[in-house]
Amino acid sequence: MSDLLNKLKGVPGWLEKFHNDGLKTGVLKLGEVTGWRKRPDGKYGPANFERALVLDRLVNIMKPSTALEVGTGRGLGCLTMSRSAAEYGIDLKIATLDILSPDARQDWPIRVDGEDKVIIANRREVWSSRVDPSLQERVEQITGRTTELLPKLVEEGRRFDLIFIDAGHDAFSVVFDISCAMRLLNDGGAILLDDFAPLEEYGIGACMAAQHLKDWFTLVEIFKTDGLVYHYEDGQPAFSRGMVLVSGLKKRPPEKASLWRALWWRMVSWALYKSARPGKFPI
């Protein structure tokens, strides 16, 4: 195993023993603006901010020149990578994809001066008023569905050293995004997949995809993240939520995916969704 793969393999252990207060505070401040979450019980807090710590670690280890984020959300992922590039003196260009445009308004949980609230805002407004402009300069925002944008990036010959996938969570969306990401990945690159949550409905896609990734990558690390560093005030989650990190692509995938296999995954995704609806349990 190469030196890079050995370093990547050590990321889960690094997170378990995390002790960098400066990085922890920096991510928290950025996350209070771009990743704060209001839970169903009405309480506010960080939602797997550990993913930002992992992204920072990957940027530090890999020194990527290009990165792709599939699923911008409110910006914690791409802005963390930009912050890390500045911290470590790396010339990094980041492309981030999302179905919502920078001008699309949405419910936006946020903490301002210690006060938790939900505002109606868009990325352009919040980033321009509360995010360092220098962080935004490295980020290219692209709007559209991943089923349209990712094949287009493949056709354009775009390649990336680091790819972070955090978009649709159903089985079809995750598998589609990964299959495209494999075509977009540079030699020696890595893919980080969020939301590996075996006991939550939104985590089924990542759990199913992880089993297939073992056929394609030398390194497949599945590890817990949520709550390891940014602890929950009312105790840890009852079950693990985590991420999947892969690198060391064994072989190049074909330029185009099989339409029949894509249809199969679409049917599987639909069936799983339907089976989880009320009234479908067999007793």
Q: Domain with 236 in it: what CATH number?
A: 3.40.50.150
This prediction's pTM: 0.93
On whether residue 25 sits in a domain, the answer given is: yes
Any idea which residue has 């010959």 for tokens?
Answer: 157
- Total domains in the fold of the chain: 1
Enter the tokens of residue 98: 């999302």
Q: Are 178 and 193 in contact (CB under 8 A)?
A: yes
Taking every pair of Cα atoms in the chain, the longest distance, rounded to a whole number of angstroms, is 60
pLDDT digits (tens, 9 = 90+) for 207-240: 888 889 999 999 999 999 998 999 766 655 555 6
Q: What is the pLDDT of residues 5-37, one digit of tens each?
A: 999 999 999 999 999 999 999 999 999 999 999
Residue 90 per-residue DSSP state: -
pLDDT in tens, 100-116: 999 999 999 999 999 99
Average pLDDT over residues 149-156: 96
For residue 156, how many other CB atoms are within 10 A of its CB? 9
Is 282 inside any structural domain? no
pLDDT at 150: 97
Report, as an integer, the average pLDDT of 196-209.
80
Residue 255 lies in a domain: yes
pLDDT of res. 57: 99
**Degrees to nearest 5, angle at CA 37 with 35 and 42:** 165
Residues in the chain: 283
Place of tokens 């914690």: 76
pLDDT tens by residue, 269-283:
788 777 777 777 777
- Note down the domain range covering 37: 3-275
In-domain check, residue 179: yes
Question: Helix crossing, 21-34 with 50-62: angle to 10°?
Answer: 120
CB of 151 closer than 8 Å to CB of 180: yes
